[in-house]
Every structure is written in structure tokens, then in C-alpha cells.
Structure 1
């Protein structure tokens, strides 16, 4: 299994750093940790940008619109399937 596959299939996966490329469909991601960015390179729009000094310890759900890249640093995530 490749890095990120568990998270995409709905299982918790911890990352020091990882990015998920854009999808053709809207998605929802659950995140806890230090850094999360949901960004569209074409429009330069941030749907979500979180940079915690102290990592969060409870999951929170975020919308990932189609065409947006997800960047994670020092966090644990899973996608709702």
C-alpha cells in the first residue's frame, strides 16, 4: 500500500509530511495535528489553512472541494468514504 492509501480508504493515517493531489470529486477529510492546508493552485484560493503551535488532539471535519490539493504536516487524517 502506498503512502496515503489508508487515509483515502477511511482509515487513520499519521504523516510527518504528505500531500494528496486534487480529485475530480468533493471530499471530506478529518484532521488532527499541527498543519493542514486545502489549496487550489489554479485559483490560489485556500479553502482551509490551519497552522497550530500545539497540535490539536481531536478530529475535526473539513470540506475538500474538487480540484483542491491537501497538504498535511505533523498530523493524522482520514477521508470519509
Structure 2
């Protein structure tokens, strides 16, 4: 499996750095804990969420990823709601 496949399937993907491409058809929910999260629309250059933690968070928090937004995580554990 490729990096990100487990997270997209709703399973914990531990300590990854990855860019999840946008889903142009629907919004998604991502569960995040770690150092860095960016939810970004490349077309409009709009940041929905941009988090940089000095120390990693240890409990999941959920964030809405609107349709058309990419997700970039660094040193994070993530999963998507399926």
C-alpha cells in the first residue's frame, strides 16, 4: 500500500508526511494529531486550516476538508472519516 492509503480507508496512518490531493466531488473529515496540518485550496490560494504545533498534539481533533481542498500533513497521525 502507498502512503496515505490507510488514512483514506479510515485507519490510523502513523507518523506520516503526505499530501492528500483534493476531492472535487465532496467534503471530507480528517482526524489529526501531530505537528503540522494544512488544508489548502490551490485554485483560490485559501487556507481553511493551517496548524503548526511546537510539540505534537496527542489526541485526535477533527477538521472539515471542503471539496476541492488538498491536505498536507507532516509528522502526523491521521485518518479520514469514511
TM-score category of the 2 structures, normalised to the smaller one: over 0.9
| Residue number in structure 2 paired with 1:13 | 13
- Distance across 1 between alignment mates of 2:16 and 2:5: 15
- Structure 1 Cα separation of the partners of residues 53 and 76 of structure 2: 10
Matched position secondary structure for 1:36: strand
1:15: how far off?
3.5
Deviating 4+ runs (over 6 angstroms) = none
Q: Which runs of 5+ in 1 are unaligned?
A: none
Match in the other structure for 2:43:
42
Give secondary structure in 1 for the equivalent of 2:6: helix
Deviations for 1:34-70, whole angstroms, at most 9, x for unmatched residues? 0000000111100100000010000000000000000
What TM-score results when the alignment is normalised by the length of structure 1? 0.96
Contact 2:6 2:13 (8 Å CA) reproduced: yes
- Structure 1 counterpart of 2:69: 68
Structure 1 residue 14: Cα displacement: 1.8
CA RMSD, 1 decimal: 0.8
